[in-house]
Amino acid sequence: MSFINKRNLQGVIWLLVIVLFAVCLIMLTDNYFNNQQINLLLTGCSKNGGEAILEIHNNFTGSYSFECKPK
């Protein structure tokens, strides 16, 4: 392998590492804000005297259904 090929390979590896780090950071941030939203929904329902019904459809994507039924 010549010097140019090694340098290009190293650049591609660094690019992949940076992209992987960015994807992980975005997923963690999305998960955090999703949990904050669910906590606010549950707290608000409880304060209004309702019964919270939460169904998490997919942990990876963060999809869920929420319903607040009056007691």
pLDDT of residue 5: 81
pLDDT of residue 3: 60
Q: How many alpha carbons fall within 13 Å on the CB side of residue 57?
A: 6
pLDDT of residue 59: 83
pLDDT digits (tens, 9 = 90+) for 56-69: 998 888 899 999 99
pLDDT digits (tens, 9 = 90+) for 10-58: 999 999 999 999 999 999 999 999 999 999 999 999 999 999 999 999 8
User: Are 42 and 54 contacting, i.e. CB atoms less than 8 angstroms apart?
Assistant: yes
Q: What are the helix (H) ranges across 1-71?
A: 3-47
Q: Give the pair of three-digit tokens for residue 56.
A: 């998490």
Work out the widest C-alpha separation in the chain, in whole angstroms: 74
pTM: 0.74
Dihedral angle over CA of 62, 34, 18, 12, nearest 10? 20
